[in-house]
Amino acid sequence: MGLGGCALIASSFAAVAGAQTVSGGRIDVVQVNGLIDPANAALIRSSLQDAARVHSSVVVFQMDASAAVDTDVEALLHDFTHSSVPVTVWVGPAGGGVRGASELLTRSAGFAAAAPGTHIGPLNPISYDDTSFTVDAPLKDVTAKASTLLEFIGLLDGRTIQTANGPVKLSTIKVVESNDKKVREPIGEVHFRKLGLTAQLAHTLNSPWVAYFLFVAGLALIIFEFFSVGIGIAGFVGAVALIGACFGFSHLPVTPWAVALLLVGMFGMSIDVQAGTLGPWTFIGAGALVAGSIWLYGGSSHLDPEWWVLVVVIGGTVLFMLSGMTAMVRSRFSTPTIGREDLVGEMGSAEADVDPDGVVRIRDALWRARTNRATPIHAGDAVRVVSIEGVVLEVEPETGGARDHRERRRGS
């Protein structure tokens, strides 16, 4: 053995011999699930800071997570590996796994183990919105196994973990008697931590499929409210959905032209809903909706919604526009054709601004209306029916209009 090898072994023994033994301190267990987004990154950082403040004995990150979005991975990794408190990772429970940024953190921890049935990798891409950021440096292997969190805490007992302040030897398990049996339990309090309610909401909105669904559903509800005349619960829910979608989009690599296609798709189909026919805009809108949905996100393909999500959202939207919306518009504005000429000269009120088109209420029924003057009619103003073209009433304001069109019609 060479001089260098002897020196390395000697320094290792010296480090272990000089390790500080920590026993009885708080054990922090931090649950990290899903994307490593700003919410999860803040959870990791605040947990490390809190552990250092209260002098916890060890931090255990329970990882079932993936790559990062809108997160400075290098800065997060620095905080993770330069903690004054020992940092460990348990990949679990069974069926979970780590990939991308979460795998990088796992392999960089002082000690890591995985539950049977979990998966590790792939490591790249580290960040889904920056696929060029990769890591080629050798990292620790995750070979240790622990089926449960308690079993993992047991593996930490007597293990020396390197920290920013030097090596620390952990004492995490004690043996106690219970019902005449000796059982192992953690030394000190086990403190669990996860995303709070507000942070969890933000984390959910950052999910690519959630943001996509809310955007399309919000547009559909707002269009529905537009055709139903007035502002109701559908419009409010649609506006809230759009706000949530825009929040999610702000943290995801959204393709602007794909968002424009989604807008064209929704409002394009509404043109044929207004006309009450299956025209070219229906096919243009449906095609734009499909294209915008497929190419909505840039970066890694892992951000793309699953195919069944696309089928449900696109199929449901097209069916809603062609069936539900069309039926609603017909029932909302349908009126008897027999005797409708008697409406000429009738007085009513504008339900919405008529400028030049709008909606009026005549004989307690809603009609599409058009003003025959350059001056718009405001909502709530009195109107008089001048003539009828198909199912659209031509109206004028009460002041200055002809007084009795029915008399003129009979005279002619």
pLDDT at 109 over 90: yes
Confidence of residue 5 (pLDDT cuts 50, 70, 90): very low
User: Could you tell me how far CA 3 lies from the centroid of its own chain?
Assistant: 57
| Cα 405 to Cα 412: distance, rounded to the nearest angstrom | 11
Query: What is the crossing angle of helices 73-81 and 101-108, to 10°?
Result: 20
Q: In this structure, are residues 239 and 218 in contact, taking their beta carbons and an 8 Å threshold?
A: yes
* pLDDT at position 179: 73
pLDDT for 390 beyond 90 = no
* Tens-digit pLDDT profile for residues 122-172: 999 999 998 888 887 778 999 999 999 999 999 999 999 999 999 999 999
Fold classification of 340-411 is: OB fold (Dihydrolipoamide Acetyltransferase, E2P) (2.40.50)
Name residue, tokens 């950021």: 133
Q: Is 17 exposed, middle or buried (0-12, 13-18, 19+ CB in 10 A)?
A: exposed
Extract long-range pairs of 399-405: CB within 8 Å, 24+ residues apart: 404/345, 405/344, 405/345
Give me the mean pLDDT over the 348-368 stretch. Answer: 86
Winning range, highest mean pLDDT, from 25-34, 343-352, 381-390, 393-402: 25-34
Q: Residue 388 above 70 pLDDT?
A: yes
Q: Is 233 exposed, middle or buried (0-12, 13-18, 19+ CB in 10 A)?
A: exposed
Beta strands 173-178 and 160-163: pairing type?
unpaired
**Cα-to-chain-centroid distance, residue 150:** 33
pLDDT (tens digit, 9 = 90+) per residue, 302-347? 999 999 999 999 999 998 888 777 666 666 655 544 455 677 888 9
Helix (H), strand (E), coil (C) string for the chain: CCHHHHHHHHHHHHHHHCCEEEECCCEEEEEEEEEECHHHHHHHHHHHHHHHHHCCCEEEEEEEEEEECCCCHHHHHHHHHCCCCCEEEEECCCCCEECCHHHHHHHHCCEEEECCCCEECCCCCCECCECCCCCCCCCCCCCEECCCHHHHHHHHCCCEEEECCEEEEEECEEEEEECCEEEEEECCCEEEECCCHHHHHHHHHCCHHHHHHHHHHHHHHHHHHHHHCCCCHHHHHHHHHHHHHHHHHHCCCECHHHHHHHHHHHHHHHHHHHHCCCCHHHHHHHHHHHHHHHCCECCCHHHCCCHHHHHHHHHHHHHHHHHHHHHHHHHHHCCCCCCHHHHCCCEEEECCCECCEEEEEECCEEEEEEECCCCCECCCCEEEEEEEECCEEEEEECCCCCCCHHHHHHHC
* Average confidence (pLDDT) over 90-100: 95
Write phi, then psi, for 3 (nearest 5 degrees): -65, -40
Please tell me the distance from the alpha carbon of residue 60 to that of residue 217, in angstroms, as a whole number: 39
374 backbone φψ class: left, alpha, beta (φ>0; ψ -120 to 50): alpha
Inter-residue contact 103 to 68 (CB < 8 Å): no
The token pair that represents 255 in the structure block: 């393709």
Output the pLDDT for position 392: 81
Strand order in the sheet with 160-163: 20-23, 166-171, 160-163
pTM over 0.85: no
- Token pair recorded at residue 230: 């007035």
Q: Backbone dihedral region of 240: left (phi > 0), alpha (psi from -120 to 50 degrees) or beta?
A: alpha
**Per-residue pLDDT at 8:** 36
pLDDT of residue 118: 96
The CATH architecture that domain 17-195 belongs to is Alpha-Beta Complex (3.90)
Q: How confident is the model at residue 409 (pLDDT cuts 50, 70, 90)?
A: very low
* Residue environment code for 286-300, b if the CB has 16+ CB neighbours within 10 A, otherwise e: bebbbbbbeebbbbb
